[in-house]
Amino acid sequence: MSTPRYDLYSAIHKGLRLLMMDTLVQLGRTDWQDPQQSESSLQLAEYLLQTCQAHLEHENAFIHNALNRLDPESCAKTTHDHRHHEQSIQMLGQHIQQVRSQALQSKAFLGSDLYRAFGLFVAENLEHMLWEETHNNAALWRLFSDAEIQAIEHNLVQSIAPVTMLPILRFMLPALNSQERQAMLEQLEQVLPEPVFAELSQSVGARKESLEWVQQWQTENLTPALT
CA distance 91 to 117: 10
Contact between 197 and 188 (Cβ < 8 Å): yes
Quick check: is 91 in a domain? yes
- 111 burial class (0-12, 13-18, 19+ CB within 10 angstroms)? buried
Domain boundary among 140, 160, 180: 160
pLDDT of 221 above 70: no
Number of domains into which the chain is organized? 2
Average pLDDT, the chain: 88
pLDDT tens profile 54-71 = 999 999 999 999 999 999
Looking at the fold, whether 33 and 107 belong to one and the same domain comes out as: yes
Give the pLDDT of residue 227: 37
Q: Is 1 among the domain residues?
A: no
188 and 129 inside one domain = no
Please tell me the pTM assigned to this model. Answer: 0.86
Same domain, 87 and 177: no
pLDDT for position 200:
74
Q: pLDDT: is 3 or 24 the higher one?
A: 24
Whether residue 101 sits in one domain with residue 63:
yes
Are 137 and 169 within one domain? no
Within a domain: 183: yes
Q: What is the spatial distance between Cα 30 and Cα 38, in angstroms, rounded to a whole number?
A: 6
**In which band, very low, low, confident or very high, does the pLDDT at 35 lie, cut at 50, 70 and 90?**
very high
- The pLDDT tens digits for 125-170 are 999 999 999 999 999 999 999 999 999 999 999 898 877 888 888 8
**Same domain (yes/no): 143, 174:** no
| One domain for residues 127 and 114 | yes
Range of the domain at 176: 161-206
